[in-house]
Amino acid sequence: MSNVRKPMVAGNWKMNGSLALLHTFISELKASPLLDTVLCVPYPYLAAASKASFKVGAQDCSQFEAGAHTGDIAVGMLQELGATHVIVGHSERRQDHNESNIAVALKVQAVLNAGLTPILCVGEPLKVRQAGNVNKFVFEQLQAVIEVCSKDFLEKCIIAYEPIWAIGTGKTASPEQAQEVHQFIRTEIVKWNQNAVSTRLLYGGSVNASNAHALFAKPDIDGGLIGGASLKIDDFIAICNAAK
């Protein structure tokens, strides 16, 4: 964790949780000046979550501002409900909904146009890691967004490195493996835009209360994107404390 970048912990509830659980979080999870805490809840919980002291995010959005797109949600609507952040390009969206790198890029643009902060997810499947092509894979995911959004976006977004083989599997990348990719991402984004030295890079993939500290101690890991452990208030608070 660097001195220049404020640490950040973002929870990703995915399609989990309940209003009752949300109320527990609102009463027990307090914002801290030392840390940006964001909870990305399912759409129906956004309005209730906006009463919290922590920041609130959505897990996806439409690339369009409005129109005939049944079932989709525009970023402006998320903003009306108090969302400040939007996860874009999570591997589960890329897989379950066939979201291409270009579709992800258009969504990042839509989030930026509305003045919200995208949390852009990148990360490789196991086969790509085994073949030794992690950097190339992640580079192409980033490059697709830069082609659509211009290099400015790199200083306005948060990037989450989430190796797919580590998500929800209990197989965390080691702090060294995660740092290696974070350092690569940092080097590349700073080549594109020197202000990206202050862009936060989060690690995601089976982060829990026991491994968070070692991960966050690495110089290019500025916090975490937390799935399963963001549904347990004590674990989530412990992870937030590890990032401070």
Other beta carbons within 10 angstroms of residue 234's beta carbon come to 10
Binding mask 126-165 for ligand PGA (x = CB under 6 A): ------------------------------------x---
Q: Interacting stretch for ligand PGA, rule CB under 6 A, among 71-79, 137-145, 210-218, 226-234? A: 226-234
Q: Of 144, 226, 240, 242, which one interacts with ligand PGA (CB under 6 A)?
A: 226
Q: Quick one: CA dihedral 139, 145, 146, 148, positive or negative?
A: positive
Residue 45's closest CA among 76, 24, 67, 68?
24
The answer to whether residue 90 is catalytic is yes
Among 39, 75, 134, 225, binds ligand PGA (CB under 6 A): 225
DSSP 228: G
- DSSP state for residue 72 in the 8-state scheme: -
CA 207 vs. chain centroid, Å, equals 13
CB of 172 to ligand PGA, least distance (A): 8
The encoded tokens of residue 37 equal 């805490």
Taken in order 206, 73, 199, 5, the sign of the CA dihedral is negative
CB nearer to ligand PGA: give 59 or 79.
Answer: 59
Chain residues that interact with ligand PGA, rule: CB under 6 A: 12, 162, 167-168, 204-207, 225-229
Residues labelled catalytic: 90, 162
